[in-house]
Amino acid sequence: MYPRDKFTHSAPDGPRRGARNLMTMAATLSIAAMALAGCSPVPGAQASDGIVNTQVSAETASFFNSDSVHEINVEADEQDVAAALEAYESEQSKEWISATVTIDGTVFLNAGLRLKGNSTLRQADTGSDPQDLPWQIRLDKFVDGQSYAGRTQFVVRTNTSQTSLNEAVALALLGEAGLATEQAAATRFTLNGSAAQLRLVIDNPSDELYSAAVFTGEGITYKADSSGDYSYRGASGSDYDSAFSVESGAEDLTPIAEFLDFVNNSSDADFAAQLAEHLDVDQFATYLAMQDLVANSDDIDGPGNNSFLRYDTSSGTMTVVAWDQNLSFGGMGGMGGARGDADGPVGSGPGTDAMLERFLPAGADVQAATAQITQGILPEGAALPEGMKLTGDTTLLQVLQQLAKGEMPAGLSPQDGQGPGQQDAGGSADPGAQGDGQGDLQAGRPRAANDNPLVTRFLANTDFSAKVEQAKTELTAKLYDSGAAQQILDTWSALLTSQADDLVDADTVASEAEAISAYFTKDTGSGAGQAPGLVPGQAPQRGSRQDEAT
């Protein structure tokens, strides 16, 4: 154990994550909400080492692919569904119920079904339409041995945009970079005879079969809880029960305790010299680089704490597994509402919950804050994110009330027409968008409260930060400059246009594809092909971890 009072480590006053500069926020608030996605394995993708296997079996690829729009029909007792919604509304518990699940014509009786998600469920209650909510399907929950396409679990993502091409492409690119990723499929989803919806269905890293397929050695897969963090809580594994859960492998949190002891309590010298004994350093550098390249603002150090950790028993090292890419490529804005709801508020839906968090102090109880806002009470500590301003007579409470209703707020805009940290017409960074210069904010979030200590210390180290920048350079050439990303995008666009034209129109597919494509080139100064989440007239910017180096 590293004594906490003996060693200190410095805060990174150099590299700061460019993808965290609230560019996404400035843009999102002007347009629309999040996305549904799917991704398929990219042939030729290679793992960075012997721990991760990015190749997909023919069995798994029969469902998770970009060749077909698949079908999933779920039938469950309506009283059971209502009870599940009641349990979540009253206690925030996600209870399993029995359902009959049909996947591409194959019927599974007594499969498990429960709600899945965090911010996407904050508006869920007994009045919600069940078919619109995110669900987790577990075929072997009540019947041992039930599986399909080499998986027992499938996650039906919430549908708050029309194509979710952004997440489909991001997931595929992660695999192409050699990272552990979730496979996904575009599906026609129905629940109890509802009208078919285009929904993303993706892998669940909690699935034992997923871990067996993706990781080559014995180990344990951990999930970081959305309300937890990567702080040091004690030497015992039990100290981390509320922050991490074992999803696959032995029920042992001791490796988490040891890992976070080192991350939080080692000296700077030891962190630099010994990190490779605890973490796959090259893989983590690639992970951070890719999150910047796909402009995802909600990853391991985002508000959702989105990550899994894989502990490899033989090497004793951790590998970070990406989770939740639906904010990639500015995914909370610019994609419109769900098909069939064109008359509703632009950008309405669960995607606004993630934005509401950005107006609240770090660690705030969003549900309690939402209740206060609904009653006309401004939560303590609520404030505008850096780089945003109110317009006209709009008050902060009015903005929060609209967000609490799942609506994009009016009367809010970026300061001086720019999001924080974006460039002016001359190409120079706007110093007024950098905060007060004291280093207390990182992309509009309090450093000490929200930063993941692993990311913070990794980027504070010159050698590790250089690895991230080198990975970005190499991956930009491999994925963007080569045309590989465009090919992936074109494949998914063609699939939706040809096989889901009754669920999403071709013009919408083309528009969203054009927006995403703008991220693949540095020559986007004209603002053509406006990417989702950008202020109109400004070009998309891929994050740089050196943008604010001093």
237 — pLDDT class (breaks 50, 70, 90): very high
Final residue before a domain boundary, out of 213, 248, 277 = 213
Residues 267 and 234 in one domain: yes
Q: Is the pLDDT of residue 334 over 70?
A: no
pLDDT digits (tens, 9 = 90+) for 492-515: 999 999 999 999 999 999 999 998
User: What mean pLDDT is predicted for residues 317-328?
Assistant: 92
Burial of 496 (0-12, 13-18, 19+ CB in 10 A): buried
Name the domain count of the chain.
Answer: 3
Final residue before a domain boundary, out of 213, 239, 261 = 213
The reply to whether 274 falls in a domain is yes
Residues 73 and 209 in one domain: yes
Give the per-residue pLDDT at 44.
Answer: 36
Residues 161 and 302 in one domain: no
Give the per-residue pLDDT at 146.
Answer: 98
What would the DSSP string read from start to end of 94-159?
Answer: ---EEEEEEETTEEEEEEEEEE--SGGGTT--TTS-GGGS-EEEETTSSSTT--BTTBSEEEE---
Most confident by average pLDDT, 85-94, 484-493, 520-529: 484-493
**For helices 396-404 and 366-374, angle between their N-to-C axes, nearest 10 degrees:** 110
Q: Is the pLDDT of residue 200 over 60?
A: yes
Residues 276 and 206 in one domain: no
Residues 382 and 401 in one domain: yes
Least confident range of 286-300, 371-385, 395-409, 526-540? 526-540
Final residue before a domain boundary, out of 408, 443, 471 = 408
Residue 277's identity, in one-letter code, is E
Least confident range of 57-71, 98-112, 420-434, 467-481? 420-434
Q: Is the pLDDT of residue 536 over 50?
A: no
**CA–CA separation, 22 and 36 (whole Å):** 22
User: Could you tell me which residues come within 8 angstroms of residue 327 by beta carbon, excluding any fewer than 6 positions away?
Assistant: 24, 34, 296, 297, 298, 302, 354
**CA–CA separation, 473 and 465 (whole Å):** 13
pLDDT-above-70 percentage for the chain: 72
SS3 372: helix
User: What mean pLDDT is predicted for residues 338-342?
Assistant: 29
Q: Quote the tokens at residue 224.
A: 């970081």
Q: Quote the tokens at residue 335.
A: 């994609």
Among 272, 286, 390, 327, residue whose Cα is nearest residue 519? 327
Residues 187 and 267 in one domain: no
User: What mean pLDDT is predicted for residues 438-463?
Assistant: 65
Phi and psi (nearest 5°) for 84? Answer: -65, -40
Residues 229 and 203 in one domain: no
User: What mean pLDDT is predicted for residues 155-164?
Assistant: 79
The reply to whether 223 falls in a domain is yes
The reply to whether 304 falls in a domain is yes
Burial of 393 (0-12, 13-18, 19+ CB in 10 A): exposed
Residues 161 and 184 in one domain: yes
Most confident by average pLDDT, 117-126, 149-158, 423-432: 149-158
Is 100 in contact with 109 (CB distance < 8 Å)? yes
The reply to whether 17 falls in a domain is no
The residue with greater pLDDT, 339 or 162, is 162
Residue 144's identity, in one-letter code, is D
User: What mean pLDDT is predicted for residues 340-362?
Assistant: 52
Least confident range of 30-39, 113-122, 495-504? 30-39
Strands 219-224 vs 308-312: parallel, antiparallel or unpaired: antiparallel
Residues 285 and 320 in one domain: yes
The residue with greater pLDDT, 290 or 52, is 290
Q: Is the pLDDT of residue 401 over 90?
A: no
| Residues spanned by the domain of 138 | 62-213
Residues 324 and 360 in one domain: no
Give the per-residue pLDDT at 545.
Answer: 46
Give the per-residue pLDDT at 510.
Answer: 95
305 — pLDDT class (breaks 50, 70, 90): confident
The reply to whether 441 falls in a domain is no
**CA–CA separation, 84 and 542 (whole Å):** 40
Q: Cβ atoms within 10 A of the Cβ of 116, count?
A: 20
Residues 368 and 459 in one domain: no
pLDDT digits (tens, 9 = 90+) for 416-449: 443 333 333 333 333 233 333 333 333 333 333 3
Residues 97 and 204 in one domain: yes
Summarize the chain as % helix, strand, coil (round to 5): 35, 15, 50
Name the H helices within 161-203: 165-176
The reply to whether 338 falls in a domain is no
The reply to whether 434 falls in a domain is no
**CA–CA separation, 42 and 46 (whole Å):** 10
Give the per-residue pLDDT at 14.
Answer: 37
Is this structure's pTM higher than 0.85?
no
The reply to whether 16 falls in a domain is no
**CA–CA separation, 162 and 392 (whole Å):** 32
